[in-house]
A and B are shown apart, each in its own frame.
Chain A
C-alpha cells in the first residue's frame, strides 16, 4: 500500500518549457488535489477533483491545467513555465464527506525550479 505517489521529486525547467506532474493513489479515494507550498504562504489549492470526471479551480489556478485520468490518477500540467511557478507541489487525496474519514494523504512533493 503505497498511499499517494507523485513524480518527479525534483525538476528544473527553463522559462517557457512545459511539464506534467504525475500523481497516483491506491486508497480508493474519490477526491484528489494539487497544492503548492511557498515560504510563508502555507499550502494553497491549485485544482481539485471531487470525483472521477470532475475538476475544479482552487485558489491559484492560473498557469496550470489538470487531468483526472481515472479514479487513481490526477496530473498537473504547466504549459509554459514561469519563474513565479517555482514552488514545492503536493498532490493529495481523501474520501468524500460521508464516505469515510476526511483525512487527506499527501504525496512526497515535487520541488520545481523555473529559471
Chain B
C-alpha cells in the first residue's frame, strides 16, 4: 500500500517567517494530495490540495508544490502568524480510490 513520510516532525518559526513542510509518497499511482490543519483539540480540516496533473497551487499565504518524478510534495506558508500554529498533515490518495494515507504530522509553532 501507499506510504507517506513527512518532515520535519516539529517546526518553530518567528512570526513573519516562512515555513516549509515536506512529504514523500511511495506509490506512483497516487494522484491526489491534500493538506490538513489540526488545531489543538479540534478536528483536521482541509487547507489546500493538489492533483497530480498540476505542479503548483496557491491560496493566499499557502501554496503546495508537487514533483511527480521525485514523488514528493511540499506545503509552503509565507508571512506566518501565531494562528498558523497547529499540526499539519499531508496525505496521498491512490487513483480510483478515496482513502487517505496520512503522514505522521508536523507541529508548527509560530512565535510572536
Q: Within A97-115, which residues are at the interface with B (CB < 8 Å)?
A: 97, 102-104, 106-109
Q: How large is the interface on B (under 10, 10 to 19, 20 to 34, 35 or more residues)?
A: 20 to 34
Q: Which residues of A contact B6 (CB under 8 A)?
A: 42
- Look across to chain B and name the residue whose beta carbon is closest to the beta carbon of A33: B99
B-chain residues with CB within 8 Å of residue A92 when the two chains form the complex: 100
**Stretch of A11-19, A43-51, A65-73, A79-87 that contacts chain B:** A43-51
A95 interface residue, CB < 8 Å from B?
yes
**Complex Cα spacing A48 to B105, Å:** 21
**Complex contact A103–B98 (CB within 8 A):** no
Give CA–CA (A41, B6) in the complex, Å: 11
**A31 beta carbon closer than 8 Å to chain B:** yes
A102-B34, A102-B98, A103-B34 known; A42 vs B103 contact (CB < 8 Å)? yes
Stretch among B42-50, B52-60, B63-71, B76-84 lining the A interface? B42-50
Could you tell me the distance between the alpha carbons of A44 and B104 in the complex, rounded to whole angstroms?
A: 9
